[in-house]
């Protein structure tokens, strides 16, 4: 039975990968990107970074490091805090590197004209509001999705059991 479940899961994973690979084709190959194209994509990345993703990642990593080290060595809490502050400063100027990578991804997916329209939208009051509220909205959507998934798991399993019962199989 476990073999069948694994086989089914493998088939589902392969099907999902095939479906995802059939998504929107790349608009521009990476070799064709001009500096202007990447700059326009970078402008979009900057306009939509209202939740300070880089800074948040640094702080979270610092907190995680602090917890790990202090759990093992509670007597050096102050020194660990100071060391984390020094290391965070070392990363302070590296945000651009990450965002340039993001920009290249957007530039390969969108033409210059498309990016110009996207930037124009995000520079508008409605676009700015969307960028500002996206993090909150995404958190709420994630909560809704978790509830949906939990309910779907329960309902789906019950329906599979019911279907099996119609075939004389009782679990």
Asked if 73 contacts 147 with a C-beta cutoff of 8 angstroms, the reply is: no
pLDDT of residue 5: 46
Residues 42 and 118 in one domain: yes
> For the chain, which residues score pLDDT lower than 70?
1-31
Cα distance between residue 27 and residue 108, in whole Å: 6
Residues 48 and 100 in one domain: yes
Contacts of 46 (CB under 8 A, 6+ apart): 99
pTM, full prediction: 0.65
Residues 163 and 82 in one domain: no
Residues 113 and 133 in one domain: no
Cα distance between residue 42 and residue 96, in whole Å: 9
Residue 2, in any domain of the structure: no
pLDDT of residue 6: 52
Residues 171 and 96 in one domain: no
pLDDT of residue 126: 96
Residue 92, in any domain of the structure: yes
> Which among 17, 22, 28, 51 is positioned nearest to 103, based on CA atoms?
28
pLDDT of residue 171: 87
Neighbours of 107 (CB within 10 A): 26
Cβ burial of 61 (10 Å; 0-12, 13-18, 19+) is middle
Asked if 122 contacts 131 with a C-beta cutoff of 8 angstroms, the reply is: yes
Residues 75 and 136 in one domain: no
* Domain limits for position 119: 32-123
Cα distance between residue 137 and residue 48, in whole Å: 14
């Amino acid at each position: 039975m476990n073999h069948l479940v694994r086989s089914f899961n493998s088939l589902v994973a392969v099907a999902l990968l095939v479906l995802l690979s059939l998504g929107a084709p790349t608009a521009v190959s990476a070799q064709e990107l001009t500096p202007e194209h990447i700059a326009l994509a970078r402008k979009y990345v900057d306009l939509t970074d209202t939740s300070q993703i880089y800074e948040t990642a640094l702080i979270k990593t610092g907190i995680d490091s602090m917890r790990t080290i202090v759990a093992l060595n509670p007597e050096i809490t102050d020194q660990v805090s100071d060391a984390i502050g020094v290391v965070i400063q070392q990363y302070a100027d590296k945000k651009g590197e990450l965002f340039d990578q993001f920009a290249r991804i957007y530039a390969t997916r969108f033409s210059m004209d498309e990016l110009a329209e996207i930037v124009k939208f995000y520079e508008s009051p409605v676009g700015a509001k969307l960028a500002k509220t996206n993090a909150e909205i995404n958190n709420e959507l994630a909560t809704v999705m978790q509830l949906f998934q939990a309910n779907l798991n329960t309902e789906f399993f019950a329906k599979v059991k019911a279907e099996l019962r119609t075939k004389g199989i009782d679990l």
